[in-house]
Amino acid sequence: MNILTIATTPFSDQKPGTSGLRKSVPDFQKPHYLENFVQSIFDTITSGAGGAIGNCTGQTLVVGGDGRYYNRPASQIILKMAAAAGFAQVKIGKGGILSTPAASCVIRKYQAIGGIILSASHNPGGPDGDFGIKYNTGNGGPAPEKVTEAIYARTKNIDKYQMLEAADIDLDRLGKTMLGPMLVEVIDSVTDYQELMESLFDFDRIQTMLKGNFRLAMDSMHAVTGPYATAIFEQRLGAAKGSVMNGVPLEDFGKGHPDPNLVYAHDLVKVLFGSNAPDFGAASDGDGDRNMILGRNFFVTPSDSLAILAANAKLVPAYKDGLAGIARSMPTSQAADRVAAKLGIDCYETPTGWKFFGNLMDAGKVTLCGEESFGTGSNHIREKDGLWAVLFWLNILAVRGESVEQIVKEHWRTYGRNYYSRHDYEGVAVDRANDLVAKVQGAMPTLPGKKFGSYEVAYADDFSYTDSIDGSVSTKQGMRIGFVDGSRIVMRLSGTGTQGATLRAYFESFTDDVNQQNIEVQQALAGPMSIAEELAQIKSHTGMDKPTVIT
């Protein structure tokens, strides 16, 4: 056994964003770039910095990725570095593939100390596309900020990394192999995850529905969920063959943009908004943690979806005894808060990023979590979970026997409707985006009490969050302007893009008047949108007349 020690110098741009380090593939292919970051993860684990575990020796690590371009070579590098770092065992998905929720499931099931997930989520892939890497801790969830900060600190002074000199492992053959002193087990990517899903939902009932007249279309967008969706929906639950669209994972996602929204999931949108549409449509993203839910000619906002799952949770076996609490990210609409209030449970508001839900779930404070960015999940794992959300909806539909649209509209009648939309301005020059933020931040102290037509500002602040479990404080998590009538504007810069800056502007208003619940969304939110333009001069700062994506 020969362990090579390789001298290196730091890269200055390895600060993890909202969800790990995301860069273009050519960035990751630079000599030492991936290795520096992986060694920084291992060094952080060993040093115990930021509350990390304190030891790699003898431990089990999980490795898996979304199958995008560079997943395979990166997996081989990580395996050899893990062997040099002293891990006793690595469990890796076949072909180096595990969806993000499956990786979380495997970490928890086999009590690994953590996992390395290779994904840039919904960002496009291919030789010129994006790649990403993140570290999840032993609870199966994304490393908390104090750990990612410790990893970043290490990347800034790293001077060497270690790697076992060995041949590549055959990642397509299931089973165990020794890599030097370390055991590598190539596991089926689907089995553990499917087993977990069967333990949560009423598969018999869903199967009866899917074998009947109910038609389903699931768009896997040529990304990681293809094999999972085919195994679960078509093979296990009896949906018609072909119900899973774009089900073959491709390294470049078929040149698509695997982001399940109304713009990028155009194949599915065409089917669900076309003639003879199926009863239910869903899409998931590059790494399988996001979901979009559609009914026949009907879009369910992710914020409404969270609220509806919460309101109907008792219909699902795993949640039949009720929920401990709900959590949503700050920009997510307040629809879930209304359900929580009615159920008499707490609703927590956290910054954007799934990592902020982990402590609340570990402490038993919340059962369901959700984000406006097409993420929904529960305490069954510590990641958001696209196919879980689809199964949750199918379970509700099977029990209630109503259409998606009927269920959503009935929800609005009961709880009121939170109109909601997000406008993204992608690829903005970074200094222009920072100017916009500075301008709004500067205006904020003058806003409370100010009137814009019929809208009066109730509060304006930059969101700051104190974790109620470990006391850690995260500041500057998004500018929010709340109005007396319950409407809100939120603006923040995305932490997941790789080119320039992405401005996200979120708009929300509320009505409990059933006669006002069917207005076109952009029209219903026109007031807050024009106030945002007045305050932030979005058009001139971004140089764009309209958003690049509206959801």
Q: Which residues bind ligand G16 (CB under 6 A)?
A: 18-19, 121-122, 285, 289-290, 329, 352-354, 371, 373, 375, 494-496, 504
The 10 Å CB-count burial string (b at 16+, else e) for 388-400 is: bbbbbbbbbbbbe
Exactly one of 19, 119, 121, 373 is catalytic; name it.
121
Which residues on neighbouring strands pair with residue 255, listed in sequence order? none
| 305 noted as active-site residue | no
| 70-to-74, 96, 97, 119, 379 alpha-carbon distances in Å | 6, 10, 12, 10, 31
State the nearest-atom distance from the C-beta of 394 to ligand G16, in Å.
Answer: 22
How many CB atoms within 10 Å of residue 176? 11
d(C-alpha 449, C-alpha 240), whole Å? 57
d(C-alpha 83, C-alpha 91), whole Å? 12
State the nearest-atom distance from the C-beta of 496 to ligand G16, in Å.
Answer: 3
State the nearest-atom distance from the C-beta of 33 to ligand G16, in Å.
Answer: 20
How many CB atoms within 10 Å of residue 322? 11
State the nearest-atom distance from the C-beta of 285 to ligand G16, in Å.
Answer: 6
In the chain, helix, strand, coil percent, each to 5?
35, 25, 40
Q: What is the radius of gyration, based on Cα positions, of the chain?
A: 23
Q: Which backbone phi and psi does 33 adopt, to 5 degrees?
A: -65, -55
Phi-psi region of 223 (alpha: psi -120 to 50; beta: other; left: phi over 0): beta
CA dihedral 93, 95, 100, 105 (to 10 degrees): -10
DSSP letters for 231-270: IIIIIIT-PPTT-EES-S--TTGGG-----STTT-HHHHH
Question: Structure tokens of 382?
Answer: 């510590």
d(C-alpha 348, C-alpha 146), whole Å? 21
Q: Decide whether 44 or 496 has the Cβ nearer to ligand G16.
A: 496
Q: Decide whether 154 or 290 has the Cβ nearer to ligand G16.
A: 290
State the nearest-atom distance from the C-beta of 162 to ligand G16, in Å.
Answer: 29
State the nearest-atom distance from the C-beta of 106 to ligand G16, in Å.
Answer: 18
Q: Decide whether 19 or 243 has the Cβ nearer to ligand G16.
A: 19
Residue 147: alpha-carbon gap to chain centroid: 19
State the nearest-atom distance from the C-beta of 115 to ligand G16, in Å.
Answer: 14
Which residues on neighbouring strands pair with residue 455, listed in sequence order? 452
Q: Decide whether 198 or 349 has the Cβ nearer to ligand G16.
A: 349
Point out the residues that are catalytic: 121
